[in-house]
Amino acid sequence: MTVRATKRSAGLLLFRHTDAGLEVLLGHMGGPFFAKKDAGAWTVPKGEYEPDEPAWEAARREFQEELGLAPPDGEAVALGEVVQSNGKIVTAWAVEADLDPESINPGTFTMEWPPRSGRTQEFPELDRVAWLALDRAREVVIPAQAAFLDRLAEHSG
């Protein structure tokens, strides 16, 4: 019997303080499965890493790969881990920074599309990013990742 290792992802949640309150930068997952979805289709910019890579380094590397931008410097606030419904363990840090969503140059992935067509297409990892107020972010983020928003709000309180 083979034991499948639990997949792990690490990511950076950017936040900023505005006149309207705390905002976070989330990415809308690219590809055909999420094209017409809003709720549950937004995520902290993150990606998988191998057990021998430190999670913090993976979070910074994945930010660069997902957004095509260097990860910001600044104090990192550890937001801990969550377990998503698919069993993946996600670790995140929050960093206060500003970023223009129009400046991203997302990484891509390739998949067979349409299914069983024999054709492959390339899609962006994240098809867009946006600054969202915490209440709006909670409505659209992958449900398990809402805990990151709550932890950030406690830290920023």
- Give 69-93 as a DSSP string: SPPPPS-EEEEEEEE-TTS-EEEEE
Structure confidence at residue 157 (pLDDT): 73
Mean per-residue pLDDT over the chain, rounded: 94
> Are β-strands 8-18 and 89-96 bridged in parallel, bridged antiparallel, or unpaired?
parallel
Share of the chain residues as helix, strand and coil, in percent rounded to the nearest 5: 25, 40, 40
Q: Which of 55, 60, 68, 79 lies closest to 144, judged by CA?
A: 79
DSSP secondary structure letters along 141-154: B-GGGHHHHHHHHH
For the cut 70, the answer to whether the pLDDT of residue 4 exceeds it is no
For the cut 90, the answer to whether the pLDDT of residue 106 exceeds it is yes
